[in-house]
């Protein structure tokens, strides 16, 4: 997909395509619609990031809370969003041994008890061993550090989701000329 | 329900109960979770309103865009949220004559073309004749006026949804002593 295609979308098409670039926060995509037309995908991405950065602390915590637990209840019950399911699968979290799931579940609980929001990591860029190590380390951080770190991870996830949207829906005609992000 | 019950909820219970007090904006409820415990329901409501008021213009426009058209596509296809369906039904919008639906649809389109967000009105407090009159009048307003008016309607809707939640789930023990909002 090139940026002209995104700019030409109706509101409904735009939401159907970009509505979950930040997990379960369609409000952000609905707000970013105000910023069209975009010169390129980087500008669209930065509009999302600017919106998140301008949120008060409670709003940033809210964004983190909209994310599911890794290998948690929603994965087990099959209620993850398509994007989260794909990401958790790619990180190896859909094939954990029982003792690994147990360890991750306990670390997740400790993390949520301490910070009041779930552990968020760009799972697609990690793998299960690294995730367990990261959560063990990050649970030691201060609330302010983890708020910043969590939001950075949200942005990495958003960046990869936008990349996926662009590559999945690239019309044949634009395959020959890679579009600048 | 009294405020102690709301304060004692897990995050998941809180989201299941209050997640749609602002239509399709669970992020707002997830953010307001940071403000617990609440002294009373008025404080909870004001936390929602404070969050909306602090949004940039694009964010307020985004909140309005998360609302469905009145008597629109989602009503016809049965995909409205439970709250919206109830509200549109109570306003008489589920039993419009074909010519009334046609008129409302045309006014809605004009409104969205002009402002870039749908016409939002606290339908439960209106009825179909008044709604048609209101949209005919409000489409004449400036974008800034309509942004403010639309957000005021969002707040009225939120207030009534909170009232419904409190009355629907009141435990027997608190029926005798009306809880202060």
Q: Is A82 helix (H, G, I), strand (E, B) or coil?
A: helix
Read off the DSSP letter of residue B174: G
Q: Check: CB of residue A122 under 8 Å from CB of residue A157.
A: yes
**What's residue A170's pLDDT?**
53
CB atoms under 10 Å from CB of B1, counted, come to 17
Instruction: Work out the angle at residue B114's Cα, subtended by the Cα atoms of residues B112 and B119, and round it to the nearest 5 degrees.
Output: 35
d(CA B37, CA B107): 43
Considering the domain boundaries, does residue B95 fall inside one? Answer: yes
- When the pLDDT of each residue in chain A is averaged and rounded to a whole number, the result is 91
Give me the number of domains chain B comprises: 1
Q: pLDDT: is B175 or B19 the higher one? A: B19
Considering the domain boundaries, does residue A9 fall inside one? Answer: yes
Please state the φ and ψ torsions of residue A160, each to the nearest 5 degrees: -70, -35
Q: Which two tokens stand for residue A180?
A: 């600048």
Residue A53 lies in domain: 3-168
B159 is catalytic: no
Considering the domain boundaries, does residue B129 fall inside one? Answer: yes
d(CA A92, CA A178): 30
Considering the domain boundaries, does residue B174 fall inside one? Answer: no
Considering the domain boundaries, does residue B60 fall inside one? Answer: yes
Between chain A and chain B, the number of residue pairs with CB atoms below 8 A apart is 81
d(CA A18, CA A162): 8
- ipTM for this prediction: 0.88
Considering the domain boundaries, does residue B130 fall inside one? Answer: yes
Q: Which residues of A are annotated as catalytic?
A: 67
Q: Can you tell me the mean pLDDT for B82-98?
A: 90
Q: Which residues of A touch B11 (CB under 8 A)?
A: 65
Peptide bond into A37 cis (omega under 30): yes
Considering the domain boundaries, does residue B180 fall inside one? Answer: no
Considering the domain boundaries, does residue A181 fall inside one? Answer: no
Q: Where are the alpha helices (DSSP H) in B19-72?
A: 26-32, 41-54, 57-65
Residues 138-167 (B) with a CB less than 8 A from some CB of A: none
For B26, which of A56, A61, A66 is closest by C-beta distance?
A66
Q: What does each C-alpha distance from B96 to A53, B71, B90, B124, B155 come to in angstroms?
A: 44, 8, 12, 15, 26
For A63, which of B27, B55, B56 is closest by C-beta distance?
B27
d(CA A122, CA A91): 9
> What pLDDT tens digit does each residue of chain A (181 aa) get?
999 999 999 999 999 999 999 999 999 999 999 999 999 999 999 999 999 999 999 999 999 999 999 888 898 889 999 999 999 888 888 888 999 999 999 999 999 999 999 999 998 777 888 999 999 999 999 999 999 999 999 999 999 999 999 997 555 444 333 333 4
Q: Which residues of A touch B35 (CB under 8 A)?
A: 58
- The label of the residue with tokens 């953010």 reads B31
B119 contact partners, CB below 8 Å, separation of at least 6: B69, B70, B107, B108, B111, B112, B135, B138, B139, B150
**What's residue A127's pLDDT?**
84
Give the CA-trace dihedral at A124, A130, A134, A136, to 10 degrees: 130
A135: domain CATH number is 1.10.3330.10
Partner A contacted by B21 (CB < 8 A): no
Residues 106-125 (B) with a CB less than 8 A from some CB of A: 116
Q: Which two tokens stand for residue A1?
A: 């997909």
- When the pLDDT of each residue in chain B is averaged and rounded to a whole number, the result is 91
Q: Can you tell me the mean pLDDT for B151-158?
A: 98
- In the structure, what pLDDT confidence band is assigned to residue B170 with cuts at 50, 70 and 90? low
Q: Which residues of A touch B27 (CB under 8 A)?
A: 24-25, 27-28, 59, 62-63, 66
């Amino acid at each position: 997909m090139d940026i002209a295609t995104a700019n030409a979308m109706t509101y409904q098409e735009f939401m159907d395509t970009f509505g979950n670039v930040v997990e379960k926060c369609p409000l952000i995509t609905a707000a970013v619609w105000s910023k069209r037309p975009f010169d390129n995908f980087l500008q669209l991405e930065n509009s999302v990031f600017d919106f998140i950065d301008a949120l008060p602390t409670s709003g940033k915590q809210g964004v983190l809370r909209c994310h599911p637990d890794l290998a948690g209840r929603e994965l087990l019950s099959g209620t993850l969003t398509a994007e989260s399911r794909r990401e958790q699968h790619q990180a190896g979290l859909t094939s954990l041994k029982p003792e690994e799931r147990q360890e991750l579940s306990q670390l997740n609980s400790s993390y949520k008890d301490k910070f009041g929001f779930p552990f968020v990591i760009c799972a697609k860029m990690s793998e299960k061993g690294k995730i367990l190590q990261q959560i063990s380390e990050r649970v030691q951080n201060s609330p302010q550090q983890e708020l910043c770190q969590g939001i950075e991870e949200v942005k990495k996830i958003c960046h990869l989701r936008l990349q996926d949207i662009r590559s999945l829906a690239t019309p044949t005609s634009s395959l020959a000329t890679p579009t600048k992000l």
